[in-house]
Amino acid sequence: MRLFKWSKANACFVPDLDDEHRAIFSVADELQLSLTGAAPDFEILEIFHRLIATAEDHLLHEEGLMRSTRYDARAWHKHQHDTLRKRLRQFVPLVEAGDRQAAIALIEFLSKWLKDHTALADRMLGAHLRNQNRLHAA
């Protein structure tokens, strides 16, 4: 079963952030397909590192927006990002050593994290950013 299919349920209604979320889902889907398709190690590693870089760029983007708009729930939201970072870091040496079970565990963890995080934390942030835009436009 493909775990990473972006849908409206994952939307936070801020176009830039939704595009970045779609990109993360797409690389994660690529990783899952390469694992189920028994791709060579170098290919799995390339996608894995691209996934981490894509995710990190996005987390930093959101954290910058939270800072610049003085978002109230920033600490709570960033804590969720840090949990993801910590888990990804734990998986790096295992996946680099060619442990495919670890790579599968990683995508299962990521799939759940992304669903939960985009549906609540990112959606709340989206509402805050849209309000800020309205205030500044007024």
The residues of the shown chain that bind Fe ion, judged by CB under 5 A, are 62, 122
Residue number with the smallest Cβ distance to Fe ion = 122
Q: Which residues contact 56 (CB under 8 A, 6 or more apart)?
A: 85
> Is the CB of 34 or the CB of 118 nearer to Fe ion?
118
Closest listed residue to residue 122, CA positions, set 84, 91, 89, 88: 84
Cβ 51 to Fe ion, closest distance in Å? Answer: 14
Cβ 135 to Fe ion, closest distance in Å? Answer: 21
Question: How far is residue 138 from each of residues 14, 35, 131, measured CA to CA in Å?
Answer: 18, 50, 11
Cβ 91 to Fe ion, closest distance in Å? Answer: 19
> Is the CB of 23 or the CB of 94 nearer to Fe ion?
23
Cβ 97 to Fe ion, closest distance in Å? Answer: 29
Closest listed residue to residue 31, CA positions, set 20, 44, 41, 42: 44
> Is the CB of 30 or the CB of 122 nearer to Fe ion?
122
**Which residue type is seen at 106?**
L
CB of 32 closer than 8 Å to CB of 3: yes
CB of 3 closer than 8 Å to CB of 18: no
> Is the CB of 50 or the CB of 85 nearer to Fe ion?
85
